[in-house]
């Protein structure tokens, strides 16, 4: 069964905590950014997974320092950009059994033209792009990948053992390559990361229940 992680991306930490408290034991995890850095100990008590999303991309020493803080905060998952150099990945190998490292490359907010402009890949050639990036991180203990559920058909044969963690669920401002929760399940997502469809709902608990029903029906 696909697991649900709720993205707590509200600018107000207090609002995020209120939502997370309502959703205690209703979802598998919470994803947070730097705005929630000081509230991770509470979130750890509310769900199994704490996903600290930093998309690490820097010098080897800086990335290692931040990764140590992420581990110290009790994260079970975090993101590392696949475009780091190999020296960064070598520094991170010691953390592979302490936190699930997820490679991030092709954001769900990118269109095909963005992929061409930023990565110099035509959308039709994204299989090559995925293969090159997966091959770069494969030796270093990465547990999974951040990808659109639409990419799973391409990614799964290249990395069958890696978790597929999929944002871009529902119609959200800023997201381009989106699917429904049920479609993500059918396409093979291990986790879905859902933000505003739950956090902006009048009743977040009901929104989660309806999403679970849609997945299981």
Positions in the chain whose pLDDT score sits under 70: 106-112, 114-116, 118-125, 171, 173-174
- The structure tokens listed for 178 are 């989106």
pLDDT of residue 119: 65
Element (H, E) at 3: strand 3-7
Torsion 185-188-190-193 (CA) sign: negative
Q: How many whole angstroms separate alpha carbon 138 and alpha carbon 162?
A: 9
Q: How many whole angstroms separate alpha carbon 100 and alpha carbon 144?
A: 7
Query: What is the value of pTM for the model shown?
Result: 0.91
Does domain 3-216 correspond to CATH entry 1.10.1270.20?
no
Q: How many whole angstroms separate alpha carbon 168 and alpha carbon 107?
A: 9
- The structure tokens listed for 93 are 């190998």
- Tens of pLDDT, residue by residue over 89-110, are 999 999 999 999 999 986 666 6
pLDDT of residue 109: 67
Domain ranges across the chain: 3-216
194 within 8 A of 4, measured Cβ to Cβ: yes
pLDDT of residue 129: 82
pLDDT of residue 118: 62
Closest CA to 2 of 206, 181, 176: 181
What is the 3-class SS of 145-192, one letter each residue? EECCHHHHHHHHHHCCCCEEEECCECCCCCCCCCECHHHHHHHCCCEE
- The structure tokens listed for 18 are 């209120």
CB proximity list for 183: less than 8 A, separation 6 or greater? 149
């Amino acid at each position: 069964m696909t697991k649900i992680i709720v993205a707590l991306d509200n600018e107000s930490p207090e609002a995020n905590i209120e939502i997370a408290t309502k959703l205690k034991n209703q979802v598998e995890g919470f994803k947070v950014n730097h705005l929630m850095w000081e509230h991770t100990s509470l979130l750890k008590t509310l769900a199994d997974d704490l996903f600290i999303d930093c998309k690490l991309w820097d010098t080897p020493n800086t990335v290692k320092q931040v990764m140590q803080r992420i581990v110290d905060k009790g994260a079970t998952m975090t993101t590392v950009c696949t475009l780091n150099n190999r020296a960064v990945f070598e520094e991170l190998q010691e953390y592979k059994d302490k936190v699930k490292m997820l490679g991030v490359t092709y954001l769900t907010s990118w269109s095909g033209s963005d992929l061409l402009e930023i990565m110099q890949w035509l959308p039709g050639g994204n299989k090559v792009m995925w293969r090159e990036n997966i091959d770069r991180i494969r030796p270093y203990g990465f547990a999974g990948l951040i990808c659109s559920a639409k990419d799973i058909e391409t990614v799964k044969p290249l990395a069958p053992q890696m978790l597929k963690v999929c944002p871009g669920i529902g119609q959200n401002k800023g997201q381009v390559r989106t699917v429904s929760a049920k479609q993500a399940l059918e396409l093979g997502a291990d986790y879905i990361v859902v933000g505003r469809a739950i956090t902006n709902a009048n009743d977040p608990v009901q929104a989660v229940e309806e999403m679970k029903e849609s997945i299981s029906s």
